[in-house]
Amino acid sequence: MNAVTSGVDAVRPPAPRVPWMVWTSAAATTAVVVGSVWDISWHISVGRDTFWTPPHLLIQLCAAIGGLTAVYLIARTTFGSDAMARTQSVRVFGLRAPLGAFMCGWGALAMLTSAPFDNWWHEAYGLDVKVVSPPHMLLAVGAMGIVYGGFVLTMAQLNRASEEVSERIETMFIALIGVLMAGAQAELIEYSSKELMHSAIFYRAFVFAYPAQLALVRRISRRRWACTTAAAVYLVLSLAQEWVLPLFPAEQKLGPVFQRVPYMAPVGFPVMMIAPAIVLDLLWTRMARWNGWVQGAIAGVAFLASFVLVQWPFADFLMSPLSRNWVFGTHYQFYMMSPAPPGARSEFFAYETTRAAFWRGMAIAAVTAMATSRIGLAVGAWMRRIQR
Amino acid sequence: MKTRVVAAALLALVIAQPAAAHIGSPDVYFEGSAGDYRMLVVVRMPRVIPGVAEIEVRSLSDGLRDVRVTPMRIRGLGSDLSPVADIAERVADRPGVYRAQLWLMLRGAWKVHIVANGDRGTGELSVPVGAVSSETRPMQRGMRWILGVLAVLLVAGAIAIVGAGVREGMTRPGTDPSPATIRRARIAMIRAAVLIGGLVGLGDLWWRAAAADADRAVYKTPQVTATLVDPRTLSLKIASSNTERWAERVGLNDLVPDHGHLMHLFLIRDPGMDFLVHLHPTQESRERFVQELPSMPAGRYRVFADIVHGTGFPETEIGEVALPQIVSGLPRGDDSLTPALSLLAGPQTDSAPLTGGFRMFWLNSSGTLRAGEPIWLKFHVEDSAGRPAANLEPYMGMAGHLVVVRIDWQVFAHLHPAGSPPMAALELANRPPMAGFESATDGRTAARDPANGAATVALEPAKGPGMAVHAGHAAVDVAPAFRSASSSEITFPYGFPQAGYYRLFVQVKRAGRIETGVFDAQVSESGHLGN
């Protein structure tokens, strides 16, 4: 009997437990998100940066974790003697490793490539005046490679282990999506100011990232309030940066200084992502088994409608004097913004100059939300099926 | 030598490289005093703004302990708030030399505020700097290869990962992918290749758009159109520079006088550089100036018009004009004309005849000149008996004016004993904040002459109650030559920007008469910069 049992154990995958890759994935994701938020705050408070500023080191830590994870797993699987590991691997360019390891390696290489590219970009076209540039996009795509590579490593283990995703790992996964949402807010800072919250461009920017994240977590998790939980994590983290960063002093190291900002400026009060998260969780009980394209379309429209419905009036509040306190932080300034209007940021700015342009923008936002929701659902479905 | 000069002259190109003020000579060389500390300041400008300039401060006095530098706008929003000053680093093997970086984030008029500390207390000085993008360079060959290989690796890797993800990623461990799965994987790879190709294509469009955007922000030297409107009157129409995309726009309604004149106009005969006139046209309207020409020979003339804006931003507008022989009088006031031997006659290097048997000597003529290296160009005036000339006097407030022109017209610089920044910009840069320069908006400018006949520019006290003139700002010593023991010697700090052949026109005033010494210089490629 013992012999039979041990034989069964030998072919059965090990019981689910939190594998080390989950922790490294969490560390890489957290490093790049905290680094990004800190970096944006650095740019709007201190101004000048180098390759070696602390936020940049955190972003590089993400690349290092991803790269080392990849190198270790590829070397161990390709050249090691662990036959089991080889059967659980995929093959790329003759090398063997779990799929997620290759994704991490690819992400690290992309991040590495972005460094000389960005440096050359500065020399050719000038120092950064925009967050969104081709080399920065390559850096972001590389970071996403590492983040999602970590997710794939995790999901492959869990998908093999059992049908039920273990509580701990699912909790971590949902939390990491919340962490990613906090990072996305920092990256969208050029479009996220409260002055733009009554313009379509604000919503066009946010539907680029957030519906996919909510749809992904919705498709992977089986918890009733998975999206709401992720949005709550985002809310807490975003509030933390809003409340903690200004506690630290800052002095401007880059001119021209349009106004003195003696604190580290936060990236802004969290947007009301909790509303579409709740709506998606509520809708999911009905639409869980529907066609993916229909799910994407409904999720996208529901996302945009509920987001606009809550964010629009909330923007009115953010414009009011009641929000100029440490809780909502609308009195914080960026040193490179003019202290006089329109830089004073005390009234809405109509990005779209005509009503038609506004509605065209909102229509683009709706289509984008549907598309990114669909992508999130598809990636989620794929991740549920990953075996290696 | 002569053949080479001629050959180089024949190869002359018409289009000049841009630089704010001067042409093709963007770096700033300035000798002045921060309190009791005399120093030479060299600012090497980046090719693109926003960018990082390098500043080198060489102490010419004892007792200096540390130097702090801060780049700031001269005028406008942000000009009254400074970022944290950078402590310039001492250069290890060169005592008294300090270096730092200057981050210039906007195109337009900047100044470097320098604070010197040492045994003789604290002194301050501001040096104006015109920040413009001069070119966007294509990617270097090596970098193209490195990034190209990495890009191919990333694209191939992404496609391979997609294939592996579908082929084996979806297959249970320990089992081989089915033929159907393998087929699906191939289709997925083709789709991924198309998708990635599309994304790379979009990225390429984005890149091109960003590059075009940067190109549009490159400063283009504005053109001045010169026309002879009657037998002896030259009409000049100046143009706005292409600063529509700059945060700091540059218009034409804010010109300020430099040495008492809104425009310093230089006409140099082409080819040969055998005739120079230095004139000061009168502004008639926002963009139109007129000048009565002195008697001068017919020919094709290159036109260089120096102006300074109320923001402290200097420009040199360029053009060409073909003139018949002008029959008129002698130049009047501060105007002057200089006939010279043609470039084709061979280089004029060590001495130049002046009137009345006086002679001007170029004391550096025997040394090697290298591009990018700061040097004091020294000239000495002697009377007919070989004695130092004792009767030199200020010419428009300066001990002398030096016009440097490369023989292919790619470089033009108008220098003073203080260096390359225009005096008006220097004065604006050293004004206390908020003092304001009274520039008119109707096209005529009423600012007072910043350096009328004085070797030292004494700045006007700040206007308004409670605004004291800061000690460090109270005066800018701009004429070191007059402080030296021998007033017959004039020095100009400068660094030739590129290798090549240059003609130097040195203008001084003696016994009420403006005299010009003409010299030729050969400049070699740079050795190592900064020595």
Quote the CA–CA distance of A198 and A307 in Å, as a whole number. 12
Read out DSSP for A23-60? HHHHHHHHHHHHHHHHHHHHHHHT----TTSHHHHHHH
Kindly state whether residues A136 and A276 are assigned to the same domain.
no
pLDDT attached to residue B528: 54
Kindly state whether residues A223 and A115 are assigned to the same domain.
no
pLDDT attached to residue B346: 82
Q: Please check whether residue B191 lies inside any domain of the structure.
A: yes
pLDDT attached to residue A245: 97
Q: Please check whether residue A90 lies inside any domain of the structure.
A: yes
Q: Please check whether residue B96 lies inside any domain of the structure.
A: no
Quote the CA–CA distance of A68 and A105 in Å, as a whole number. 8
Q: If you search the block for the tokens 């702090």, which residue do you land on? A: B68
How far from chain centre, in Å, is Cα A20?
Answer: 22
Kindly state whether residues A130 and A212 are assigned to the same domain.
no
Q: Please check whether residue A262 lies inside any domain of the structure.
A: yes
pLDDT attached to residue A40: 93
pLDDT in tens, A6-26: 444 445 555 556 788 889 999
Closest CA to B524 of B12, B4, B3: B4
Cβ–Cβ below 8 Å for B83 and A254? yes
Quote the CA–CA distance of A336 and B85 in Å, as a whole number. 17
Q: How many domains is chain B partitioned into structurally?
A: 1
Torsion of CA B243, B246, B252, B257, to 10 degrees: -120
What average pLDDT score do residues A353-371 get?
97
Q: Please check whether residue A304 lies inside any domain of the structure.
A: yes
Torsion of CA B189, B191, B193, B196, to 10 degrees: -130
- pLDDT above 90 for B349: no
Q: Please check whether residue B206 lies inside any domain of the structure.
A: yes
> Which of A84, A134, A156 is nearest residue B207 as measured by Cβ atoms?
A134
Chain A segment 273-302 residues within 8 A of B by beta carbon are: none
Q: Please check whether residue B193 lies inside any domain of the structure.
A: yes
Q: How many domains is chain A partitioned into structurally?
A: 2
Residues paired with residue B369 on neighbouring β-strands, in sequence order? B523
- pLDDT above 90 for B12: no
Q: Please check whether residue B348 lies inside any domain of the structure.
A: no
Range(s) of the domain holding residue B149: 141-216
C-alpha gyration radius of chain A: 22
- pLDDT above 60 for A187: yes
Kindly state whether residues A258 and A358 are assigned to the same domain.
yes
Q: Can you state the angle between helices A292-319 and A200-220, rounded to 10 degrees?
A: 130
Residues paired with residue A339 on neighbouring β-strands, in sequence order? none
Do the strands B513-524 and B369-370 form a parallel or antiparallel pair, or are they unpaired? Answer: parallel
ipTM of the predicted assembly exceeds 0.90: no
Kindly state whether residues A52 and A200 are assigned to the same domain.
no
Kindly state whether residues A119 and A234 are assigned to the same domain.
no
Task: Write down how long chain B is.
Answer: 531
Chain B segment 90-109 residues within 8 A of A by beta carbon are: 103, 105-106
CATH of the domain at A225: 1.20.1450
Residues whose CB is less than 8 angstroms from the CB of residue B519 and which lie 6 or more positions away in sequence, other chains included: B348, B349, B350, B352, B362, B365, B503, B504, B506
pLDDT attached to residue A168: 80
Residues paired with residue B319 on neighbouring β-strands, in sequence order? B303
Nearest residue of A to residue B73 by CA position?
A256
pTM of the shown model = 0.85
CA distances from B233 to A140, B287, B323, B443 (A): 63, 16, 11, 21
Q: Please check whether residue B166 lies inside any domain of the structure.
A: yes
Find the farthest-apart pair of alpha carbons in chain B and give their distance in angstroms, rounded: 106
- The answer to whether A25 contacts chain B (CB < 8 Å) is no
- pLDDT above 80 for B230: yes
Q: Please check whether residue B173 lies inside any domain of the structure.
A: yes
Range(s) of the domain holding residue A383: 192-388
pLDDT attached to residue B473: 33
Q: Please check whether residue A153 lies inside any domain of the structure.
A: yes
- The answer to whether A388 contacts chain B (CB < 8 Å) is yes
Chain A segment 234-253 residues within 8 A of B by beta carbon are: 251-253
Neighbours of A211 (CB within 10 A): 30
Phi, psi of A41 (to 5 degrees): -60, -40
Closest CA to B115 of B89, B87, B90, B91: B87
CA distance A19 to chain B (A): 18
Question: Measured on CA atoms in the order A293, A298, A301, A307, is the torsion positive or negative?
Answer: negative
Cβ–Cβ below 8 Å for A127 and B167? no
Neighbours of A363 (CB within 10 A): 12
Cβ–Cβ below 8 Å for A257 and B82? yes
- The answer to whether B371 contacts chain A (CB < 8 Å) is no
Answer for the pair B12, B407: CB distance below 8 angstroms, yes or no.
yes
Tell me the pLDDT band of A162, cut-offs 50, 70 and 90. Answer: low
Q: Please check whether residue B202 lies inside any domain of the structure.
A: yes
Q: What is the DSSP letter of A194?
A: G
Q: Please check whether residue A6 lies inside any domain of the structure.
A: no
Tell me the pLDDT band of A132, cut-offs 50, 70 and 90. Answer: confident
**Percentage of chain A surpassing pLDDT 90?**
74
Residues paired with residue B130 on neighbouring β-strands, in sequence order? B109
Kindly state whether residues A234 and A338 are assigned to the same domain.
yes
> Which of A126, A133, A256 is nearest residue B48 as measured by Cβ atoms?
A126
What average pLDDT score do residues A346-361 get?
92
